[in-house]
Amino acid sequence: MNVYDGQRIAAMLTARGMTQTDNIPDADIIILNTCAVRAKATDKVFSALGRIRTEKKPDALMGIVGCVARESGADAFRRVPELNFVLGPQSYHKLPEILENPDTRLLNIDLGGLEKFDSMPQMEKSPRVAYIPIQEGCNHCCTYCIVPYTRGREISRPFDDVIHDTTHAANTGAIEICFLGQNVNGYKYTSPAGKIYRLSDLIHAAAHMDTIKRIRFTSSYPTEMTDDLIDMFRTEPKLLPFLNMPIQSGSSNVLTKMNRPYTLDLYIDIVDKIKHARPDVQISSDFIVGFPGESDDDFNQTLEIARRIKYINSFSFKYSPRPHTAAALMPNQIPEKIKSERLYKLDALLNEIQREFNESCVDKVMPCLLEGPDKTGRHLVYRTPYMQQCIVDSANNSAPEMADIKITAANKASLRGEILGASEF
């Protein structure tokens, strides 16, 4: 979601005659696009602002947009007096106001509706991977999560608007579509005529666009994996065989405290249904360790579910108390030392599972999407259907955007391969 927001902000400013620079002293406006999901992310924002204010030109405008802006509000101006604007995640389309009135401070952290999507210009050229938001906010109100406060309650974009954006992306260079939402598979839009549209309808429509070769979506909530969506994995070959479906914990006790209203049996049943629909599907997850009251046995159950599902790629974090959340006020907060120990054990297991899956891919041929050159310029980076990074030599200057690649080596982090030719898919 932040990648999409950043792209649209850049497109909006480019349309106003500005050019993008990575050099802070050259910039006339400096924007930090921020995330508040963990305390460390918020701390990094204000640390970065402290560095930037000493490097920027005296008259350069500086501000923050996104979830930290919503979380901090007017207090951000107190912490960093040099700030010119603080705009929440549904308000960044108001940036032109600060350009027109640079001597004023602009604060807007209102939880609006879908106005920003109507206000932002389309990008002239789409990246190969086009991120298409289909809904904002979340109604699940997990006790650890700040998203309902920073992004608001769940609201789905009109079906025709999403398809318009998807068509534009397909016509301007996109090869892969990634539908986005804090609760993406909860998408539900009722047209004025009373027709109900779900995520499966968006996937079906995007799959009929000839230039689109790959479709995926993130991030999913387990109980929103409806049968029509699961069936897409069986019927639609353009839908990648890879799904991020966070479980957060393997303990029913912890899931209850998190307000995650599903049982382990239900979660496992959903995974089984998806793999029955498409046997080569692989699952990734998010995990939180050290949630308030988590016992050693609770944590061991998390290790067990990771072994059972065999998540091929996951994000795991120590629990981080966030303002405006119920969990921050819960008793039995876990000491930092114990959280660190548990995270180390979980990461070691997840890394081993990821390595085993990567090694199982050696000698297979996969249709992969070109991401671009690596930092050295000596190699090209592709993405497999499972979102693994695959590195190939860049001797071929006419490397296809979609290539059939034979996997020749693997480690925990990435694959190596050789291009056999352009992929037909």
pLDDT number for residue 119 = 78
What pairing do the DSSP bridges indicate for beta strands 389-393 and 379-383?
antiparallel
pLDDT number for residue 279 = 98
Give the gyration radius of the chain's Cα atoms: 22
Q: What is the DSSP letter of 385?
A: T
Exposure of 6 in the CB half-sphere (CA atoms within 13 A): 11
Q: What is the DSSP letter of 23?
A: -
Phi/psi at 123 (nearest 5 deg)? -75, 140
Q: Is the peptide bond before 219 cis (omega within 30 degrees of 0)?
A: yes
Both tokens assigned to 44: 């990094």
pLDDT number for residue 377 = 83
Res. 398 pLDDT band, cuts 50 70 90? confident
Among 2-11, 138-147, 330-339, the minimum mean pLDDT is found in 2-11
Phi/psi at 287 (nearest 5 deg)? -130, 145
Residue percentage of the chain with pLDDT more than 70 = 99
pLDDT number for residue 118 = 80
327-341 exposure pattern, b = at least 16 Cβ within 10 A, e = fewer: bbeeeebbeeeebee
Nearest to 219 by CA among 12, 401, 37: 37
Residue percentage of the chain with pLDDT more than 90 = 86
Res. 157 pLDDT band, cuts 50 70 90? very high
pLDDT number for residue 38 = 86
Separation CA 423–CA 404 (nearest Å): 5
Both tokens assigned to 131: 């991120």
Helix (H, G, I), strand (E, B) or coil at 126: coil
Write down the residue that tokens 């609760």 correspond to: 183
Helix (H, G, I), strand (E, B) or coil at 14: helix
Phi/psi at 337 (nearest 5 deg)? -60, -45
Res. 205 pLDDT band, cuts 50 70 90? very high
Res. 375 pLDDT band, cuts 50 70 90? confident
Handedness of CA 299, 301, 304, 308 (dihedral sign): negative
pLDDT number for residue 395 = 67
Contact 129, 369 (CB under 8 A): yes
- Whether the pLDDT of residue 350 is over 70: the answer is yes
What pairing do the DSSP bridges indicate for beta strands 379-383 and 365-373?
antiparallel
- Whether the pLDDT of residue 396 is over 60: the answer is no
Both tokens assigned to 334: 């876990």
Separation CA 354–CA 360 (nearest Å): 10
Res. 145 pLDDT band, cuts 50 70 90? very high
Amino acid letter for position 105: R
Which segments of 88-212 are extended strands (E)?
A: 106-108, 129-133, 135-136, 155-156, 176-180, 188-190, 196-198
Contact 390, 377 (CB under 8 A): no
Contact 168, 233 (CB under 8 A): no
Q: What is the mean pLDDT of residues 100-127?
A: 86
Helix (H, G, I), strand (E, B) or coil at 94: helix
Nearest to 158 by CA among 136, 189, 184, 181: 189
Q: List, as one string, the DSSP characters of 232-281.
A: HHHH-TTB-SEEE---B-S-HHHHHHTT----HHHHHHHHHHHHHH-TT-
pLDDT number for residue 63 = 96
Residue 364: Cβ within 10 Å count: 12
pLDDT tens-digit series, residues 258-276: 999 999 999 999 999 999 9
- Count of residues in the chain: 425
Write down the residue that tokens 């692989």 correspond to: 282
Nearest to 309 by CA among 354, 339, 343, 340: 354
Helix (H, G, I), strand (E, B) or coil at 195: coil
Both tokens assigned to 11: 């497109």
pLDDT tens-digit series, residues 277-335: 999 999 999 999 999 999 999 999 999 999 999 999 999 999 999 999 999 999 999 99
**346 contacts: CB under 8 Å, gap ≥ 6:** 287, 289, 299, 302, 303, 306, 316
- Whether the pLDDT of residue 193 is over 80: the answer is yes
pLDDT number for residue 424 = 80
pLDDT number for residue 68 = 94
Q: What is the mean pLDDT of residues 26-53?
A: 93
Q: What is the mean pLDDT of residues 19-29?
A: 95
Separation CA 312–CA 309 (nearest Å): 9
